[in-house]
Amino acid sequence: MGLHRAGFHPETVVEWDHDCCVTVRENQVFEHPVVRDWPLIEGDVRSVDFARFEGRLDLISGGPPCQPFSLGGKHKAYDDARDMFPQAIRAVREARPKAFIFENVKGLTRAAFRNYFEYIKLQLEHPELTATPEEDWTDHLSRLERHHIHGARSGLHYRVVARVLNAANFGVPQKRERVVFVGFRDDLDLEWSFPVATHAAEALLWDQFGSGEYWDRHKVAKAARPNDPAARAQAERLGGKPATCAWRTVRDAIADLPDPETDRDGSRRWHNHRFQQGARSYAGHTGSPLDEPAKTLKAGVHGVPGGENMLAKPDGSVRYFTVRESARLQTFPDDYVFHGSWTETMRQLGNAVPPHLAFVIGRDVARKLRFAA
C-alpha cells in the first residue's frame, strides 16, 4: 500500500496467507482506491514464474517470512524451511528489475546471523551467481566473496544498501525496527542512500517537557500532566526545539477515536473498533504508554502477545488495542477494513510493514528511478 502511494502499481501481488487475501478481496469489493485493481495471487511464491516479467519491472518488493530471524522465534535461520530469502533472490534473478526493496526483522542483524546477513546481501548483489548442488551456504558465501572482491561486473549485478530503520523516526507512532535492503541495477549507474529521519525522541521530549505544546494540543489539564523533573531537566538541556518533528505517540494516533471500553455505541460506528476483554499486565508485558510511540506490534506464534498489543493508561490500567487502533499505529487508512477474528486480524497487522514507512522509502526510490529514466 505504501509503495502504491509512492507511485508504483503492482503487476502481481503474491500472498500465502488466506485471511490476508480475503482482507484484500473484501477491500476490492468496496472499491478501495489503493487495492481495488491489484492482481492478487493466493499461493506459494515458490510456484511463481518471475521470468515472465523480465525487463518489464521497475521494482520488486517483499517481506520474506521473518520467523527464522525473529528475536521471539526459534532462531533456526538458514536451517529453517520458512526462510523465503532464496525466493526473493530468485525473483530478482528472473525478472531483472531496475530496483528492489526487501524488509525483514532486526533480528537478522544479530551477531549469530551476521554471516547469513552478508550471504543474503551478496546474493542480492550478484543474483546470477547461484549455488551449485554440492555447495552448502558457507561454501557459496566464500565463492560470492571471492567474486565480489575480484570486481568482475559482467552479467546481472545490483548496488545494495541495507540499514536497520526505526519506523518512529519517520512519523509512524510505533517503535518498530526493521532491516531494509534496497538495490539498484548496476547498469543504471545510480547512487542512493536511505532517507534522513524526519522525527526524533528529543523533539517529543521538548514538546512534552520543554514547551508543553504536546499537552496543550491534546487539551490535557495541567494537573493531569506527568510530573517528571528528570525529563524537564533533559528538555532544558536541549536549549530549544530540535529541527526534527516529534515522535508521534499512541495518543497522537488514537485520540480522536471513541474509547471502546466506555463508549461501545460510538465505537460501533468505526470499522474494526471493538473492545476486547482479558488484558492483563505481567513481567515484561506491561503495554504501550499512551504518551510514547507504541511498542512493536507483534503477530505472535500462539495468538496475540498481550504485552506488546496493549495500551497502558496513565492510571496504571491496561486494555488491548482494538484492531482499528492497531491499524492506526501501523498507519493503515481508516477506510481499509480487516477480515477475520480479533486474533487473526491482529496477526495480519503484526506481520505488516507500516504503509507510511514503505511510502517514505518507496517515494525516494521512485524519485531516483525517474531521474535515471
DSSP letter string, 287-349:
-EETTSPBPPP---SSS--TTTTEEE-TTS-EEEPPHHHHHHHTT--TT----S-HHHHHHHH
Q: Which three cell numbers stand for residue 112?
A: 549469530
Percent of the chain whose predicted confidence (pLDDT) is above 90: 79
Q: Which amino acid type is present at position 336? A: Y
C-alpha–C-alpha distance, residues 185 and 258, integer Å: 48
Distance of CA 17 to the CA centre of its chain: 17
pLDDT at 154: 81
Residue 9 pLDDT grade (very low, low, confident, very high; cuts 50, 70, 90): very high
Q: Which of 166-180, 284-298, 306-320, 336-350 has the highest mean pLDDT?
A: 166-180
Residue 310 pLDDT grade (very low, low, confident, very high; cuts 50, 70, 90): very high
pLDDT at 157: 96
CATH number of 2-197+353-372: 3.40.50.150
Q: Which residue has the higher pLDDT, 325 or 153?
A: 325
Percent of the chain whose predicted confidence (pLDDT) is above 70: 93
pLDDT tens for 261-270 read 999 999 999 9
Length of the chain: 373
pLDDT tens for 111-162 read 888 888 999 999 999 999 999 989 988 899 999 999 999 876 789 999 999 9
Instruction: For residue 275, give Cα distances in angstroms to 69, 251, 269.
Output: 32, 17, 13
Residue 307 pLDDT grade (very low, low, confident, very high; cuts 50, 70, 90): low
Say how many C-beta atoms besides its own lie within 10 A of residue 184's C-beta.
22
Residue 299 pLDDT grade (very low, low, confident, very high; cuts 50, 70, 90): confident
Say how many C-beta atoms besides its own lie within 10 A of residue 344's C-beta.
20
pLDDT at 151: 72
Q: Which residue has the higher pLDDT, 368 or 67?
A: 368
Q: Which three cell numbers stand for residue 145?
A: 566473496
| 72 pLDDT higher than 60 | no
Q: Are strands 59-62 and 318-320 parallel, antiparallel or unpaired?
A: unpaired
C-alpha–C-alpha distance, residues 100 and 361, integer Å: 11
Mean pLDDT along residues 18-24? 95
If we measure between CA atoms, which residue out of 269, 243, 261, 271 comes closest to residue 336?
271
Q: Which amino acid type is present at position 20? A: C
Q: Are strands 288-289 and 310-312 parallel, antiparallel or unpaired?
A: parallel
Strands across the sheet containing 59-62: 59-62, 99-105, 177-185, 158-166
User: Minimum mean pLDDT among 75-84, 315-324, 330-339: which range?
Assistant: 75-84
Mean pLDDT along residues 199-204? 98
Mean of per-residue pLDDT scores for the chain:
91
C-alpha–C-alpha distance, residues 341 and 58, integer Å: 36
If we measure between CA atoms, which residue out of 1, 125, 144, 122 comes closest to residue 61?
1
The DSSP H or E segment spanning 188 is none
pTM of the shown model: 0.93
Task: Look at residue 199 and give its three-state secondary structure.
Answer: strand
pLDDT at 207: 98
Q: Which residue has the higher pLDDT, 133 or 181?
A: 181
pLDDT at 301: 58
Q: Residues 292, 249: contact at Cβ < 8 Å?
A: yes
Residue 108 pLDDT grade (very low, low, confident, very high; cuts 50, 70, 90): confident
Contacts of 357 (CB under 8 A, 6+ apart): 2, 165, 167, 170, 172, 176, 178, 331
pLDDT at 76: 47
Residue 194 pLDDT grade (very low, low, confident, very high; cuts 50, 70, 90): very high
| 75 pLDDT higher than 50 | no
C-alpha–C-alpha distance, residues 262 and 281, integer Å: 20
> Which residues of the chain form CATH 3.40.50.150?
2-197+353-372
C-alpha–C-alpha distance, residues 259 and 237, integer Å: 36
Residue 362 has, within 13 A of its CA and on its CB side, a CA count of: 24
pLDDT tens for 23-47 read 999 999 999 999 999 999 999 999 9
Residue 68 pLDDT grade (very low, low, confident, very high; cuts 50, 70, 90): low
Instruction: Measure the CA angle with vertex 246, ends 243 and 249; round to 5°.
Output: 175
